[in-house]
Amino acid sequence: MPGTKLDQTDRMILAQLQGDGRMTNVELASRVGISAPPCLRRVRTLEEQGYIRGYHADVDPRLLGFEVQVFAMVGLHSQAEADLVAFENLCRAWPLVRECHMLNGEIDFILKCVAPDLSSFQSFLTEHLTAAANVASVRTSLVIRPAKDDPGVPFDVLEDRLAKEG
Partner DNA sequence: GCTGAAATCGCCTAACG
Partner DNA sequence: CGTTAGGCGATTTCAGC
Binding site for DNA (CB under 7 A): 9, 24-27, 34-42
Contacts 24+ apart (CB under 8 A), 55-61: 55/17, 55/21, 55/22, 56/21, 58/151, 61/114
The letter for the amino acid at 77 is: H
Q: Which does 72 bind (CB under 5 to 8 A by kind): its own copies, DNA, none?
A: none
CB of 125 to its own copies, least distance (A): 14
- Nearest CA to 1 out of 55, 48, 53, 52 is that of 48
Binders in 62-91 for its own copies, by CB under 8 A: 63-66, 69, 71, 88, 91
Of these, 33, 37, 38, 154, which contacts its own copies (CB under 8 A)?
154
5 DSSP assignment: P
Helix (H, G, I), strand (E, B) or coil at 90: helix
Instruction: List residues binding its own copies (CB under 8 A).
Output: 2, 6, 11, 14, 17-22, 49-61, 63-66, 69, 71, 88, 91-92, 95-105, 107, 109-110, 114, 116, 141-154, 156-158, 161
